[in-house]
């Protein structure tokens, strides 16, 4: 996972120069609003003090606070927009975080994997904690390290060697006026080089109105910034040259990371999102660590049935969960659209576990299903992307996906991280219930750990898919076929096309073809076929190969998504899209990506706004 760069979460901006830092930082935070956030805060140095203002909710709340309680006009400060991962989105959990003496302030993007152990050690040593965040451990570690060296950059290097996970960190200290120190591992950080002033930010959008000259920090590097320059070192103190470059994006392109639409940026962020969702949840020994979910292993051993409820793309993730749970945990699993679930008489009791999957955590149909399940005595586990949202609060346990904010209405990175989450839950059930031997769980854990890299590989080879999409821009319909876990992928591919391109599209279980849908096939109808891996369940592969021949014989234009090295498909594929080899159950993580790219490119070719498809809402809070 080391190659991945987690950029999907919080917004960071720091300033040192002649202007009042509070104004420059607030302006930078406004520029980062597009990333999505649930709280914000600013700290500035003022002589002997670090002055701090933080507020949950939109930036307007922080601005109101600043109006009644203004910050001093010093030239050194930092600010943060938070997307909650550890701890609810409250004022106290908002960044910056301070040490015990209010001498230093720190902001963070990413996840500190070993925060629980460090927190326990720091508490033991007498530190006082004021938030539930993983970040606050860094404030206290820096306090001790600065106490020893009296040098903020040295203290940051010392701390970076003690923490695991992904992080962009920025800190200021009252005893180091005119200095901002940043550090990064697996999460981006960039320095803006101005004239007598400098910026440190999570992305260039934060400072692009002030300067287009930037310095990129490399992996495992620390930067010490003053108004006149920046010194970059490795974590062990070797001085290195950062890469200087000129930013030629305008502000709106900068917000979208250079992409035309947020959704395209979100598709590209999927390796990071998958890596973030796995972070700290897989051990090196090949087991799963899901203690944070509040799932009591004793209760899980008593569960005799699982019911998954969800809507839209999350429902498709639920369909895939069924295959994983039945296979790894050996438990019966039903999957139901949340809007249907509460209007029948589901048989549930306290031995039932209901899994509610929702990106937003606010979908009313899913919330109502959760309440219905709880009334019947079932336990509810939420799989959710928005920390502190309603569905996790109404549930007994929660596993957060860490896709970061998703702005495009159609689910992409949230869907792929929901898949990761359901695999984690299914394997965890197998682990605690002993239905799988440890070595079998370990094998899948290692496969899962490799998925961010595989997703990145798929994304690098998508140009031919865009070309196919452009050619099909005026097709009246597109059909999608799959079997086993490829069937929900086919449904998701069809949904993406309906949502984004406003085209008729249907996904089918390939075995059902002969029972009706084959009547739709005529000359030139595009049929996208999600092939299962040829190894593993070979019977699935040969069956789908036969289905492919059936549709082709009737004139279909076949677009085949198949694993590298699967030569058997070649004679029957008009277009062939390769995905890397993964275990059969994990294949949706890679095979859905070409379908997202296909739908978005087709939509763009048809002149649609892929971020805001007509008639749709990101989160549907009506029934």
Q: Which residues bind ligand G6P (CB under 6 A)?
A: 311-314, 358-360, 363, 366, 409-411, 616, 618-620
Secondary structure class of 180 (helix, strand, coil): strand
User: Which of the residues 10, 160, 224, 384 is marked catalytic?
Assistant: 10
> How many whole angstroms separate alpha carbon 597 and alpha carbon 455?
13
Q: Which residue number is nearest to ligand G6P in terms of Cβ?
A: 312
Strands of 180-185's sheet, edge to edge?
A: 97-98, 104-112, 165-173, 180-185, 221-226, 229-234, 239-240
Helix (H, G, I), strand (E, B) or coil at 189: coil
539-560: b or e for each residue (b if 16 or more CB lie within 10 Å)? ebbebbbebbeebbeeebbbbb
Quick check: helix, strand or coil at residue 302? helix
434 Cβ neighbours under 8 A, 6+ residues apart: none
* 160 labelled catalytic: no
In this structure, is the dihedral angle defined by the CA atoms of residues 334, 443, 382 and 486, taken in order, positive or negative? Answer: negative
Is 22 catalytic? The answer is no
Question: Which residues are within 8 A (CB) of 492 and not within 5 positions of it... i.e. 6 or more apart?
Answer: 313, 316, 415, 507, 592, 595
Query: Would you call 590 exposed, middle or buried from its count of C-beta atoms within 10 A (0-12, 13-18, 19+)?
Result: buried
The DSSP-derived string for 88-156 is -S-TTTSSPEE-TTS-EEEEEEEEETTHHHHHHHHHHTT----SS-STHHHHHHHHHHHHHHS-HHHHH
Report the half-sphere exposure of 36 (CA within 13 A, side-chain side): 18
* 163 versus 411: smaller Cβ distance to ligand G6P: 411
Q: In 233-311, which residue ranges form alpha helices assigned H by DSSP?
A: 251-255, 262-268, 270-278, 297-302
Residue 195 has what DSSP assignment?
S
CB 358 within 8 A of CB 346: no
Longest dimension (CA), the chain: 80
Catalytic positions:
10, 618
């Amino acid at each position: 996972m080391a190659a991945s760069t987690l950029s999907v979460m919080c917004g960071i901006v720091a300033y040192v120069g002649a202007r009042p830092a509070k104004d420059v930082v607030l302006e930078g935070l406004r520029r980062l609003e597009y990333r999505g956030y649930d709280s914000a805060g600013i700290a500035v140095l003022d002589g002997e003090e670090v002055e701090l203002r933080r507020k949950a909710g939109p930036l307007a709340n922080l601005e109101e606070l600043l109006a009644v309680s203004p910050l001093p006009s010093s030239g050194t400060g930092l600010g943060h927009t938070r997307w909650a991962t550890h701890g609810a989105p409250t004022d106290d959990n908002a960044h910056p975080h301070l040490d015990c003496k209010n001498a230093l302030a720190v902001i963070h993007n990413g996840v500190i994997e070993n925060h629980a152990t460090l927190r326990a050690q720091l508490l033991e040593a007498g530190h006082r904690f004021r938030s539930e965040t993983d970040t606050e451990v860094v404030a206290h570690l820096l306090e001790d390290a600065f106490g020893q060296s009296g040098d903020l950059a040295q203290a940051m290097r010392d701390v970076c060697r003690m923490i695991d996970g992904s992080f962009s960190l920025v800190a200021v200290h009252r005893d180091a006026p005119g200095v901002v120190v940043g550090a990064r591992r697996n999460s981006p950080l960039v320095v803006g080089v101005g004239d007598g002033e400098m910026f440190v930010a999570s992305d260039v959008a934060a400072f692009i109105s002030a300067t287009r000259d930037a310095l990129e920090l490399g992996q495992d590097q620390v930067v010490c910034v003053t108004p006149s320059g920046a010194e970059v070192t490795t974590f062990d103190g070797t001085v290195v040259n950062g890469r200087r470059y000129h930013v030629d994006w305008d502000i709106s392109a900068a917000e979208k990371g250079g992409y035309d639409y947020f959704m395209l940026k979100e598709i590209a962020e999927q390796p990071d999102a998958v890596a973030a969702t796995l972070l700290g949840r897989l051990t090196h020994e090949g087991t799963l660590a899901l203690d944070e979910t509040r799932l009591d292993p004793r209760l899980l051993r008593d569960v005799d049935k699982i019911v998954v409820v969800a809507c839209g793309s999350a429902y498709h993730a639920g369909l895939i969960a069924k295959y994983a749970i039945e296979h790894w945990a050996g438990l019966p699993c039903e999957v139901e659209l949340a809007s249907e679930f509460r209007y029948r008489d589901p048989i549930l009791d306290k031995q039932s576990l209901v899994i509610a999957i929702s990106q937003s955590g606010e979908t009313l149909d899913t919330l109502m299903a959760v309440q219905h399940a709880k009334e019947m005595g079932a336990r509810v586990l939420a799989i959710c992307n928005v920390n502190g949202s309603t569905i996790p609060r109404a549930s007994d346990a929660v596993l957060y996906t860490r896709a970061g904010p998703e702005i495009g209405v159609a689910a992409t990175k949230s869907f792929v991280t929901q898949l990761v989450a359901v695999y984690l839950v299914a394997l965890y059930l197998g682990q605690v219930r002993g239905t799988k031997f440890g070595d079998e769980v370990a094998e899948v854990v290692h496969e899962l750990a490799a998925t961010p890299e595989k997703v990145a590989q798929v994304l690098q080879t998508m140009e031919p898919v865009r070309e196919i999409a452009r050619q099909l821009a005026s097709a009246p319909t597109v059909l999608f076929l799959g079997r086993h876990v490829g069937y929900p992928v086919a449904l998701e591919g069809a949904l993406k096309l309906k949502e984004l391109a406003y085209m008729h599209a249907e996904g089918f279980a390939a075995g059902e073809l002969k029972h009706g849908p084959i009547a739709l096939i005529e000359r030139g109808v595009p049929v996208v076929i999600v092939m299962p891996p040829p190894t593993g369940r070979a019977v699935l592969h040969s069956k789908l190969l036969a289905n492919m021949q059936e549709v082709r014989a009737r004139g279909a234009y076949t677009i085949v998504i198949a694993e590298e090295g699967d030569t058997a498909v070649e004679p029957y594929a008009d277009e062939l899209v390769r995905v890397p080899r993964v275990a059969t159950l994990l294949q949706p993580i890679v095979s859905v990506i070409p379908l997202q790219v296909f739908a978005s490119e087709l939509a763009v070719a048809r002149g649609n706004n892929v971020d805001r498809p007509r008639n749709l809402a990101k989160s549907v809070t009506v029934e």
